[in-house]
Amino acid sequence: MASDEQFYSKHPSIPEHSGKYKTIVYIICTIAALGGLLFGLDQGFIANALDTIKTDYHLDTSQAENYSAVLATGGVLGALLSGLLARYFGRKKSLIFAGFVFTAGSLISAMLPPIAILELCRFGLGLGVGIASFVVPLYLSETAPAKIRGSMGTLFQLMITIGIFLISLTNVFIAKMITNSQHALPIMFLVIGLFAIVMFIGTFALPESPRWLMLKGKKDKALKVLHKTMNTQAEIDLEIKEIEYTLASSAKEKFSASILFKGYFLKVIIVGVLLQMFQQLVGINVMIYYAPEIFGYAGMKGLVAMMTVPTVNMLFTFPAIYLVEKWGRKKLLYVGAICMFITMVAAGLAFLTIAKGADPATIGSGSKLVLLLAVIVYIFGFAVSWGPVAWLVCSEIFPLKVREVGITITTMVNWTFAGLLMGYSLTFMEQFGTSSLLFLFSFFCILAVAFVYLFVPETKGITLEEIELNLAKGVKLKDVGNARK
């Protein structure tokens, strides 16, 4: 077999491109990214419907935390199953299944069943979202051309933020128009179901991932997909040759559990695990799920408390689509972590000036303003960086043979830490104060910067096959995304 250098001396890694891509590429990626909409719908739903659920089902703080956190349990199971689903049934069928499960859970919830059934439905929602959170980044990374893979990959996070914004806005509107919680809550669930149906139907129009088709020996079908998404025969030929070469290079490595603990497989799994762990430990889901409660502790109510986070989160994800290819992955992770560190410290200091249980009328406007600005800049920092980039890098760094397993593990880690934060944050704030939690998040932001510097590779503009071949050659972990010299 020819060496890597011989292969790439004959085949340039990415042919010169006009910078224009077929419209179908953007349509396919947008439809696939609707799986992120499911993720966002639930996050935004809890933030602005939790009070309504607590009222209707007479839940205390601990019970409300349990209801919120059971989604993460479903997410962990969904992530675990999604690796098997994606490998044996394909990326497309996995997305269809996720859309079906989420739709069913939403519609049953709209019937306001007993709390045990409602929690079971929420577990089902988590199952669907867990599958989507695994499959969507994987599908986008395998389907989008290398030059725009980063931009298309950020569509997943963009759809999450759009889902959060849309459901937050509709829930606020429903709560204002319908004051009876028993009438308002079913409509809130039905809105989620409507969006889920759109995603479910849309996935039927998607082509299968060409890399999965090649992995299954279906070259003819893979060629048909590439003819739809690529401009020239030269690009198609090179893409097929790179995939074939990567598959041939790893053909002798039959998959087994032990492969995860050998050489570069273990290295990239550790990077992926820590990326997803830090994405949660910087505190984003606490801000998304419990922002109204946090603002409420500072005496801030109404639209400001309910809509600031979802609106800023959505608006500032749009720049990430451009910046992830302009600046690269690592620079965005640095900028985001530093922004979040500064703002979490500022928000924590603001809460130190607010006595626990203070009368809202006695809380100074200065503390409120600092808190509001800190949260806005914090959301900006996350939205342009750790939100999209953590998912994107995890979809890029794993070799094809273990890609499903690697993303399964990292997605499960994300959901596990999300569940821990959702399940204990309200109690933590009540017992130790909101400032303590915010300072803890700022500490993790500093650790995240050090981690990125030492271990995370820059993967901008390099094909998945080149990343894999660099890993196989023993290139230093943080340099595996560098194009060959």
Question: Residue 43's closest CA among 69, 63, 73, 78?
Answer: 69
Tokens of 197: 């149906």
How far, in Å, CA of 226 to CA of 153, rounded?
Answer: 18
Provide the token pair at 425.
């944050």
Residue 32 predicted with pLDDT over 60? yes
Residues with Cβ within 8 Å of residue 432, at least 6 apart in sequence: none
Concatenate the DSSP letters of all residues of 70-108 into one string.
Answer: HHHHHHHHHHHHHHHHHHHT-HHHHHHHHHHHHHHHHHH
Question: What is the rounded distance in angstroms from the CA atom of residue 36 to the CA atom of residue 32?
Answer: 8
The pLDDT tens digits of the residues spanning 125-137 come to: 889 888 888 888 8
- SS3 of residue 384 by DSSP: coil
pLDDT of residue 485: 42
Contact assessment for residue 330 and residue 68, using Cβ atoms and an 8 Å cutoff: no
The alpha carbon torsion through 88, 90, 93, 96 (nearest 10 deg) reads 120
Q: Examine the pLDDT at 379 and tell me if it is beyond 80.
A: yes
Inter-CA distances, 277 with 80, 103, 202, 386, 421, Å: 16, 28, 31, 11, 11
Nearest to 286 by CA among 38, 35, 50, 36: 50
Give mean pLDDT, residues 430-445: 89
Residue pair 76/130 in contact by the 8 Å Cβ criterion: yes
Q: How many CB atoms lie within 10 A of CB 46?
A: 24
One-letter amino acid at 366 equals G
Calculate mean pLDDT across residues 194-202. 88
The residue ranking higher by pLDDT, 292 or 89, is: 89
The crossing angle, in degrees rounded to 10, of helices 464-472 and 263-281 is: 120
Whether residue 4 has pLDDT greater than 60: no
pLDDT digits (tens, 9 = 90+) for 251-307: 555 555 566 666 667 888 888 999 999 999 998 888 877 777 777 766 666 666 677
In the prediction, which pLDDT does 2 show? 43
Per-residue pLDDT tens digits for 412-425: 898 889 888 877 88
Tell me the pLDDT tens digit for each residue of 160-169: 888 888 888 8
pLDDT at 94: 92
Structure tokens at 181: 């919680």
> Does pLDDT of 30 surpass 70?
yes
CA gap 84, 179 in Å, rounded: 45
Please report where in the chains the tokens 């199953």 appear, as a residue.
Answer: 81
Non-local CB neighbours of 485 within 8 Å, separated by 6+ positions: none
Residue 204: the pLDDT is 92
Measured in residues, the chain has a length of 485
| Tokens (6 digits) for 192 | 């989620």
Could you tell me the pLDDT band of residue 61, with boundaries at 50, 70 and 90? confident
pLDDT at 154 over 50: yes
How many whole angstroms separate alpha carbon 289 and alpha carbon 286?
5
- CATH class of the region 22-219+258-479: mainly alpha
| DSSP annotation string for 4-64 | HHHHHHHS-SS----S---HHHHHHHHHHHHHHHHHHHHHHHHHHHHHHHHHHHT--HHHH
Q: Distance between CA atoms of 43 and 159, rounded to whole angstroms?
A: 12
- Which residue reads 């972990």 in tokens? 477
CB within 8 Å of 282: residues ≥ 6 apart: 337, 340, 344, 382, 386, 441, 444, 445, 448
CA angle, residues 322, 325, 326, in degrees to nearest 5: 75
d(CA 206, CA 192): 22
Q: What single-letter DSSP state applies at residue 478?
A: G
Residue that is written with structure tokens 């999965």 in the block = 212
What is the Cα gyration radius of the chain? 22
State the average pLDDT for the chain.
Answer: 81
pLDDT band for 14, please (50, 70, 90 cuts).
very low
